[in-house]
A and B are shown apart, each in its own frame.
Chain A
Amino acid sequence: MSRILDAKIPSGPLADKWDRHEMECPLVAPANRRKFTVIVVGTGLAGGGAAATLGELGYNVLNFCVQDTPRRAHSVAAQGGINASKNYQNDGDSVERLFYDTVKGGDYRSREANVYRLSQLSMGIIDQCVAMGVPFAREYGGTLANRSFGGVQVSRTFYARGQTGQQLLLGVYSALSRQIAAGTVKMFPRHEMLDLVVVDGKARGIVCRDLVTGEMKRYAADAVVLATGGYSPVFYLSTNAVNCSATSIWRAYKRGALFANPCYTQIHPTAIPQLGDYQSKLTLMSESLRNDGRMWVPKAPGDKRRPADIPEAERDYFLERRYPAFGNLVPRDIAARASKVECDAGKGVGNTGFAVYLDFADAIKRLGRDVVADRYGNLFTMYEEIIADDPYHTPMMIYPAPHYTMGGLWVDYNLESTIPGLFVAGEANFSDHGANRLGASALMQGCADGYFVVPRVVAGYLARGGLGKVTTDHDAFGAVEDEVRRRYDALLAVKGSRTVRDFHWDLGRVMWDKVGMSRDRAGLEQAIVRIRELREAYWHDVKVPGEAADFNKQLEMAGRVADFLELGELMAMDALAREESCGGHFRAEHHTPEGEARRDDENFMHVAAWEHKGDGQAPERHVEPLAYENIEVKTRSYK
């Protein structure tokens, strides 16, 4: 009988939970804080925010990132915006409504208490970022501007042109820079965490590789925070940066942290379609484009005329037709799947037939070219450079692409994993988005976790005491470092015939075809077999050039792909076990007569968290039942 996970949600009314919890979290006195060392892995909104804030409070922080500087964490790439329930537009927004939209958007598979806390903290994030000099868009009167995003009917999204993630990240980076100068945060760029060190059942350190020298290094701490982002590159082609990986969280999983809802991946509806098999990534076009862009395909399958030659009457604005209430602003999973339905019916456009149009002609007519350029100009330029076509005159071609992963390490209300002292923040954890993430809420969660939640809950953990002194001389560090070394030496020793990219590409195709936008039993079973074969082949036939003790990008990638080859299987297993459709998880066996996702609340209103039982052994599936006490669980409808 698998254990049932305790989320440690504070009792009492929803609206008071976080305040009460903050009061109940014990504190560490200012003079004692510098005696504690906290490792933070990652420098995005969650990791950088946590490191800077913990440093500001006086803790001794060690902060690691794989990039050459913390300012390049992948949060930098988020375009559209960040939500906050400020109700500045007087359109009826509130903490309750943001909470409701997020829980509904996540298809009732997220945790009420966490989402409510997120909604409450959202307002403070905007204030904090403004105070740090983040240049949010403003109205002529000097007040902050807002726009709307998919899945909601209010304008609550704050933005900085199409570079909101970059600007928020630069805010984090500047706060971090201040603490580095003050000596509270010690920064380790170009360092990759390769394993977690657990001593007496508690997270006490990490083993890293210095990516410049190749040297293995050990770091000890009183608590470890992982904020290493998502794992979409398991699909090979995704909107993620090439260095995004699952290695930190996957190594923690293998050390005993549970992995929750791995099958929940978001396939973002508006990316530039795949062009060829040489490609290294898919480029996201911000969801904000759907505020003014209209999605359509030709009504007749196989219609290969140029878009301008297809008259209005022969176009199908399929989102407006199917979802009149939300139209082009339906949530991402709905829009992505709707595009797939059209393309599968032979109505896809472009050379491959795997694309739909996103048309700005009406917006340009209504608002004028300048306004459209002001709102989306940088995205249009980016599109034109890649496709060599001008979206001011011809509609954009878009297609869904793997984007954000809602699954991640299981955490309780304190963002603590099942390994005491191991905290997980931002996209690396599973907690706030359920089965589908609404637009502009990833930045919100990253900031909330980093600036506000982690500093409190880590302090609470440290203040409870009972932590003995552990140094990197401890046997556990030696043992973990040896394992890491052996693993890397083994990769270099294979000297096979196929490159790391070859294997990664093959894995990506299996994941996309069988574990992608819609899945079925047969496909998932095939995927599991195929991934096992690939993994077996990898360790016998991969060719990794160079040495371990050197700058060696191919070796870095080899380690990451080895982990993706394991994680991919767990994603397929999780998808197979979840006999329902919800959010970004669509099982072809479970849909309504209209083709909409059909949830099974009776049997699956829970978080599935997997426990590693050893290599070659089946992981064990545990559940955390989800209770909705403050929100009425309904069939999700955007019609």
Chain B
Amino acid sequence: MTIHLKIWRQARGAAKGNFETYTVEKILPEMSFLETLDLLNEQLTRQGRQPVEFDSDCREGICGTCGLVIKGTAHGPNPKTTTCEVRMRHFHDGETITVEPFRAGPFPILKDLVVDRTAFDRIQQQGGFVTANVGSAPDGNAVPIPKIDADKAMDAASCIGCGACVAACPNASASLFVGAKISQLSYLPQGGPERGRRALLMIGQMDREGFGDCSNHGECEAVCPKEISIENIARMRREFFKGALGGHDRKAATGD
């Protein structure tokens, strides 16, 4: 196959960016999309030109590092897949494919297709954890957890933090990401005492980072490679209201 790649180039965060088009030949249908970019970079390097910077690591859909907007869709046209899992058999010979970075104010571009998603880490640091010091935990079976709850927690926990939900949302809302973490912990008895505080703090940080509100477009769920359900956003809201109504939790979180 021959593919034309129309790729966003931007030398650094502060620089002005633009699209450039490159042609890559001899692509096999079973190649992954990122392997096609590898091939392009080999070509550019040999020609003495600047390779395209993009992020990737595990290349099997679990680390969440890669993330591109391919043909206008975060992670590309296939449902339920990360960028690294997209295979070239989903494109046709001679096609021109537009490739852009995840775009959102809180995800500033570092170079070309690489964005900075550390805003997610800062949200997580506000309470996306159970306060449990190492070494004093009770036996794992001391607190039975219904299978259905454990499964629901796992559904939410499978979020890989890639940020596609933000890139797809017209408001650049991080609600699916935040909702997944809050939901996961709300299904488990562990960390119960800090539940309300967690919701208030994480959501507060999400706002401070400049992520928008959720207005139920559902684009986040549509692009999520891990099929995280939008139900988690509803659950996040419930947790928020419970937290807001819950006296000392709220005081601790907001300083009121």
A binds B: yes
**Chain A residues at the B interface, C-beta cutoff of 8 Å:** 49, 52-53, 56, 67-72, 74, 76-77, 86, 88, 124, 126-133, 135-144, 160-161, 163, 166-167, 170, 173-175, 177-178, 180-181, 187, 189, 212, 241-243, 275-276, 278-281, 283-284, 381-382, 385-388, 451-452, 455, 497, 499, 501, 543, 545-546, 550-554
Check B135 against A144 for contact (C-beta < 8 Å).
no
Closest to B126 in A: A181
B61: chain A residues at CB < 8 Å are: 382
Cβ–Cβ contact A67 & B160, under 8 A: no
- The interface residues of chain B lying within 8 Å CB-to-CB of A497 are 46
Closest to A126 in B: B140
Give the docked Cα–Cα distance between A74 and B63 (Å). 8
Binding site for A on B (CB under 8 A): 12, 28, 30-32, 34-35, 38-39, 41-42, 44-46, 48-51, 53, 55-65, 78, 80-81, 85, 87, 89, 110-111, 114, 116-118, 120-121, 124-126, 128-135, 137-141, 143-147, 150-151, 153-154, 157-158, 160-161, 184-185, 187-188, 190-191
Residue pairs across A and B with Cβ atoms less than 8 A apart, 15 shown, are A68-B55, A71-B121, A72-B161, A74-B58, A76-B62, A86-B140, A135-B150, A139-B147, A166-B62, A175-B129, A212-B111, A243-B57, A275-B30, A280-B59, A554-B45
Q: Do A181 and B59 have beta carbons less than 8 Å apart?
A: no
The contact of A74 among B57, B78, B138, B188, by CB within 8 Å, is B57
Instruction: Assess whether B35 is in contact with A278, with CB atoms less than 8 Å apart.
Output: yes
With contacts A275-B30, A553-B53 known, is A72 near B64, CB below 8 A? Answer: yes
Q: How far is the CB of A288 from chain B (nearest CB, A)?
A: 15
Give the CA-CA distance A53 to B144 in the complex, in Å: 26
- Cβ contacts under 8 Å, B157 to chain A: 135, 160, 167, 170
Which residue of A is nearest B78, CB measured? Answer: A385
Measured between alpha carbons, how far is A180 from B81 in the docked complex, in Å?
31
How far does the alpha carbon of A606 sit from the alpha carbon of B64 in the complex, in Å? 41
Which are the 5 A-B pairs with shortest beta-carbon distances? Answer: A142-B144, A174-B129, A131-B137, A127-B137, A135-B153
Looking across the interface, which residue of chain B has its beta carbon closest to that of A385? B85
Main SS at interface, chain B: loop
Question: Which one of B60, B81, B146, B161 lies within 8 Å of A283 (CB-CB)?
Answer: B60
Q: How far is the CB of A259 from chain B (nearest CB, A)?
A: 25
Tell me which residues across on chain A come within 8 A of B110, comparing CB atoms.
212, 551
Chain A residues within an 8 Å CB radius of B56: 242
B58 x A77 contact (CB < 8 A)? yes
Tell me whether A241 and B63 are in contact (CB under 8 A): yes
Across-interface contacts of A281 in B (CB, < 8 A): 59-60
Bound Cα distance A509, B63 (Å): 27
Assess the A88–B141 pair: CB atoms within 8 A. yes
Decide if A388 touches B30 in the complex (CB within 8 Å). yes
Distance A499 CA – B48 CA, assembled complex (angstroms): 11
From A71, A144, A276, A283, give the contact of B28 (CB < 8 A): A276
Separation in Å of the B27 CB from the closest CB of chain A?
8
**Smallest distance from the beta carbon of A67 to chain B beta carbons, Å?**
6
Contact with A69, one of B117, B131, B151 (Cβ below 8 angstroms): B117
B140 touches A144 (CB 8 A): yes
Q: How far is the CB of A248 from chain B (nearest CB, A)?
A: 16
Query: Chain A: which residue is nearest B115 at the CB level?
Result: A68
Chain A residues within an 8 Å CB radius of B150: 135-138
User: Contact partner of A72 among B42, B60, B63, B144, CB < 8 A?
Assistant: B63
Q: Chain A residue with minimal CB distance to B39?
A: A278
In the bound complex, residues from chain A placing their C-beta under 8 Å from that of B57 are 67, 72, 74, 241-243
**A499–B46 contact, CB under 8 A?**
yes
Are A135 and B154 closer than 8 Å at their CB atoms? yes
Please state if A69 and B153 are interface contacts (CB–CB under 8 Å): no
Contact of A56 among B39, B49, B134 (CB under 8 A): B134
Which A residue sits closest to B146, measured CB to CB?
A142
